[in-house]
């Protein structure tokens, strides 16, 4: 799998063991470890063993492997009752800091701990929703 990793990426180095990490679990195609600056206790990152900056650049076989591992870790964390966020950021404007695709598993045991989200919801007309739908479906 190392043939899909790059030299200077911090997460590629973690996969190769060149930088230490608290490994939670791994498969042939994915690696899960504790976030070094957790938003709450048990905050994990799940990454493909394939260097890609963005979600849409990860091959299907790696994506197919990563979510079952994320679920396994979420369940093992005792959060099966739904107290966690599964989060994935793409690009600096979307709060991405490390440019190797990663999914966060962030425990949210109570309102005080875990991810704090400001969710800027907008009001839209039905016509605008329809135009958006058409724009996306045209390219699918």
Interface ranges with ligand 5GP (CB under 6 A): 10, 19, 21, 33-37, 45, 89, 95-98
* Active-site choice (43, 51, 100, 102): 102
Per the CB < 8 A criterion, the answer to whether 46 and 102 are in contact is yes
Per the CB < 8 A criterion, the answer to whether 105 and 39 are in contact is no
Element (H, E) at 20: none
Binding partner of 10, given Zn ion, ligand 5GP, none, CB within 5-8 angstroms per partner class: ligand 5GP
Binding partner of 9, given Zn ion, ligand 5GP, none, CB within 5-8 angstroms per partner class: Zn ion
Compute the least distance from the CB of residue 76 to Zn ion, in Å. Answer: 25
Q: In 3D, which of 90, 100, 114 has the Cα closest to residue 11?
A: 100
The answer to whether residue 56 is catalytic is no
Compute the least distance from the CB of residue 71 to ligand 5GP, in Å. Answer: 19
Binding partner of 33, given Zn ion, ligand 5GP, none, CB within 5-8 angstroms per partner class: ligand 5GP
């Amino acid at each position: 799998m190392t043939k899909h990793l790059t030299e200077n990426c911090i997460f590629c180095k973690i996969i190769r063991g060149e930088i230490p990490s608290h490994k939670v679990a791994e498969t042939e195609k994915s690696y899960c470890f504790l976030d070094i600056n957790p938003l709450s206790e048990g905050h994990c990152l799940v990454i493909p063993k394939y260097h890609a900056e963005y979600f849409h650049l990860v091959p299907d076989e790696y994506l197919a492997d990563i979510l079952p591992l994320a679920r396994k870790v979420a369940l093992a964390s005792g959060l099966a009752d739904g107290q966690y966020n599964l989060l994935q950021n793409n690009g600096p404007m979307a709060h991405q800091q490390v440019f190797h695709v990663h999914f966060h598993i962030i425990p949210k045991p109570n309102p005080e701990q875990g991810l704090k989200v400001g969710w800027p919801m907008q009001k839209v007309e039905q016509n605008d929703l329809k135009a958006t739908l058409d724009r996306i479906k045209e390219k699918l």
